[in-house]
Amino acid sequence: MEKKWVIAIHGGAENQSREDLSESKQAAYEQGLENALMAGWHILKEGGSAIDAVEAAVRSMENNPLFNAGKGGSLSEDESNEFDAAIMDGKTMQAGAVAGVKHVKHPITLAKTIMQQSKHVLLCATGAEEFAKSQGLEMKPDGYFKTEEKEKDLKEAQKEEETKGNDTVGAVALDMHGNLAAATSTGGLVNQHPGRVGDTPIIGAGTYANNEVCAVSCTGDGEGILRANVAHEVYALMKYKGLSLKEASSQAMSIYKDRIEGDRNFIALDPEGNVEFSFETSLMFRACKRQDDPAYIAMWREESTINDPEVQLSK
């Protein structure tokens, strides 16, 4: 039997027009997506685990200030960075998560370390930082994470007295051994209240993986995704209603929309290697690579998937 292995990633979803994004910045995003995609793909190609692949892909985006995770993360109203992240192993259904942490260079690696070295699933704030230090994880001063662009974003949001942004990065993968994994990381909202936690580190809301059914990583309105339990909703629709990944993804985007507002965007992957990029915004920074096939890298909704017909785009 042919071994199937695939990785898909997202770098957030936004409502922008092509006029809002310069050609050079679009090219930079595409390069960032390719770098992250290949970081995970090379691990899969060498027979590595889905968990290691999604961690590597997300770490790459945490290093890139274009994405709202790690370096260049959004600033809270007190001008600080607070990071959330989660990772889940579809084989064992073990998970690790971190919320409201500062100074940790790679929140996704802290989440993975919590999964592997702690009896807990979710650690927060100073307790999470102390655990990171005890495990020898790399720490950085406040200035490392801040960028001029994010400081400007904060000033604009404060002037308008609102919170902004819905970007989060994530990855899902299927390895040669048939194991699924999901990972998600975020810097949160611009001008959010200190201590605010979104959907990203909540298992079943923003991140979920189970070998039998699917792996999901979300991005979008964190409060809405939390209330709708979106990642687990995809799983439940497949598990209990017998829907395909495409059908479940479409329904998970719209269920309870009459009561729960906010855009729901996510990537999802099933044990057969089928991929869904589901988003309500005008664009999603996204990429996918299956085995040795050409990489699929896209941003805008209208970008065709014709070169990779098994990659689906839910509307």
Query: Any bridge partners for residue 265, and if so which?
Result: 219
Per-residue confidence (pLDDT) for residue 38, from 0 to 100: 98
Per-residue confidence (pLDDT) for residue 57, from 0 to 100: 98
When pLDDT is averaged across residues 106-119 and rounded to a whole number, the result is 98
Task: From the candidates 109, 113, 163, 168, give the one annotated as an active-site residue.
Answer: 168
Q: Which of 34-48, 59-73, 110-124, 149-163 has the lowest mean pLDDT?
A: 149-163
What are the binding residues?
A: 196-199, 219-222
Per-residue confidence (pLDDT) for residue 110, from 0 to 100: 98
Q: Examine the pLDDT at 94 and tell me if it is beyond 70.
A: yes
What are the E-state strand segments in 102-206? 122-124, 169-174, 180-186
Q: pLDDT of 115-147, one tens digit each?
A: 999 999 999 999 999 999 999 999 999 999 999
Q: Where are the domains of the chain?
A: 8-314
Residue at token pair 């979104």: 198
When pLDDT is averaged across residues 213-219 and rounded to a whole number, the result is 98
The confidence band for 257, taking pLDDT boundaries of 50, 70 and 90, is: very high
Q: Examine the pLDDT at 292 and tell me if it is beyond 90.
A: yes
Per-residue confidence (pLDDT) for residue 314, from 0 to 100: 47
What are the binding residues for substrate?
A: 196-199, 219-222
The confidence band for 304, taking pLDDT boundaries of 50, 70 and 90, is: low
Q: Tokens standing for 22?
A: 């310069």
Q: Examine the pLDDT at 174 and tell me if it is beyond 90.
A: yes
Q: Could you give the percent of the chain with pLDDT greater than 70?
A: 95
CATH of 8-314, picked from 3.60.20.30, 3.30.1330.60, 2.120.10.30, 3.40.50.620, is 3.60.20.30
Give one DSSP letter per residue of 30-79, joined into a string. Answer: HHHHHHHHHHHHHHHHTT--HHHHHHHHHHHHHT-TTSSSSTTPPB-TTS
Q: Examine the pLDDT at 166 and tell me if it is beyond 80.
A: no
Q: Examine the pLDDT at 306 and tell me if it is beyond 50.
A: no
Which pTM was predicted? 0.94
Q: pLDDT of 21-52, one tens digit each?
A: 889 999 999 999 999 999 999 999 999 999 99
Per-residue confidence (pLDDT) for residue 250, from 0 to 100: 96
Cα–Cα separations (whole angstroms), residue 304 to 197, 227, 308: 35, 32, 9
Tell me, yes or no, if 184 is annotated catalytic. no
What are the E-state strand segments in 175-279? 180-186, 207-210, 214-220, 264-269, 275-278
Q: Angle 146-151-152 (CA atoms, 0-180°, nearest 5)? A: 145
The confidence band for 160, taking pLDDT boundaries of 50, 70 and 90, is: confident
Q: Examine the pLDDT at 7 and tell me if it is beyond 80.
A: yes
**At 65, which amino acid appears?**
P
In degrees and rounded to multiples of 5, residue 239 shows phi and psi of -70, -45
**At 172, which amino acid appears?**
V
Q: Examine the pLDDT at 65 and tell me if it is beyond 50.
A: yes
Q: Examine the pLDDT at 289 and tell me if it is beyond 90.
A: yes
